[in-house]
């Protein structure tokens, strides 16, 4: 019986694969059998080494996704370098923190450009290919702030709310064309983006007190959900935003 979770023979493009959640997702997809293209402003050399140790190919693609200019090139380089494209993970993201009353236009624009604008146009570029081939998987990285308001992160909250919206919109348009578009909403994860929160003793305690699992998440905690959404096991799942949060939203 064929394993519905196998990604053998598939190619996944993961943005922001150099560290943190992107690296964790890339390694999980590679362990399931996929070759990986990693696109980002920083070369994903460590991720490349770990993917190759799993016996899979890795292609580094330099791209600053604060602009949509590289989007078409990233998809073209993936196809040229690895021969196909089956899975897109829109993981690259920025976060800027300041009180709403003081928040700058630059911090608004930078975050929105990477987190929502580039994610949409990357989906569009990959989507053209997926529609033409009659199959494809898009996984967006949402957030707890796709459901909640947050504090001191206006553009991040807006962008992650937008990710939930475009995930549903693209599912409405493309589900009948063989493409699935879903999102993972990580809870509080121990990554560079949360270093300030974890360093703040009071905020760290307040967050841990709210998480039923009693710990911060780790990048590898997203791996199983990512493999599920990238594989044929999820062919009838579309437009979903799946929390991986240790029970945060259930509280």
Active-site positions?
A: 156
What's the Cα-to-Cα distance from 235 to each of 23, 135, 167, 178, 180, rounded to whole Å? 24, 10, 15, 8, 7
Give the residues across from 141 on adjacent strands: 184
Under a CB-based contact definition with an 8 Å cutoff, are residues 235 and 186 in contact?
no
Give the residues across from 59 on adjacent strands: 37
Pairing of strands 11-15, 87-90: parallel
CA angle 224, 28, 25 (to 5 degrees): 90
N-terminal to C-terminal alpha carbon distance within the chain: 39
Residue located via tokens 């305690």 = 205
DSSP string covering 84-145: ---EEEE---------GGG--HHHHHHHHIIIIIHHHHHHHHHHHHHHHHT-EEEEEE--GG
Nearest to 29 by CA among 89, 78, 90: 89
Give percent helix, percent strand, percent coil of the chain, each to the nearest 5.
50, 15, 35
């Amino acid at each position: 019986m064929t394993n519905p979770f196998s990604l053998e023979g598939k190619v996944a493009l993961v943005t922001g694969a150099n560290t943190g959640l992107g690296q964790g997702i890339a390694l999980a997809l590679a362990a399931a059998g996929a070759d990986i293209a990693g696109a980002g402003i920083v070369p994903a050399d460590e991720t490349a080494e770990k993917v190759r140790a799993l016996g899979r190919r890795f292609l580094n693609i330099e791209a600053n996704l604060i602009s949509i200019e590289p989007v078409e090139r990233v998809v073209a380089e993936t196809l040229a370098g690895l021969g196909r494209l089956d899975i897109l993970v829109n993981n690259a993201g920025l976060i800027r923190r300041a009180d709403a009353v003081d928040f700058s236009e630059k911090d608004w624009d930078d975050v929105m450009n990477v987190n929502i604008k580039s994610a949409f146009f990357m989906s569009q570029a990959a989507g053209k290919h997926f529609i033409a081939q009659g199959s494809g998987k898009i996984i967006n990285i949402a957030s707890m702030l796709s459901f909640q308001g947050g504090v001191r992160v206006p553009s991040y909250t807006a962008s992650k709310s937008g990710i939930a919206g475009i995930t549903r919109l693209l599912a409405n348009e493309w589900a009948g064309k063989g493409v699935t578009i879903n999102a993972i909403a990580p809870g509080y994860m121990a990554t560079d983006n949360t270093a300030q929160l974890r360093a703040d003793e009071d905020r760290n305690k307040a967050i841990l007190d709210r998480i039923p699992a009693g710990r911060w998440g780790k990048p590898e905690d997203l791996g199983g959900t990512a493999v599920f959404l990238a594989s044929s096991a999820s062919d009838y799942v579309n437009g979903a935003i799946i929390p991986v949060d240790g029970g945060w939203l259930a509280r």
